[in-house]
Amino acid sequence: MGLGGCILLIGAGAILTFATDWQTESVNLDLVGLIMMAVGVIGVATFTSIAKRRRAVVPPVAPTYVDEGGTPGHRP
The per-residue pLDDT for range 11-63, each reduced to its tens digit, is: 999 999 999 988 889 999 999 999 999 999 999 999 988 887 776 667 777 77
What total of structural domains would you count in the chain? 1
Sign of CA dihedral 43, 45, 51, 53: negative
Run of H or E residues at 47: helix 29-54
Domain membership of residue 44 (yes or no) is: yes
HSE value, Cβ hemisphere, 13 Å, CA-based, for 47 = 13
pTM passes above 0.95: no
71 pLDDT higher than 70 = no
Coil, strand or helix: which one is 7?
A: helix
For residue 15, the model assigns a pLDDT of 95
Domain membership of residue 66 (yes or no) is: no
Domain membership of residue 59 (yes or no) is: no
Per the structure, the complete domain to which residue 8 belongs is given by 3-54
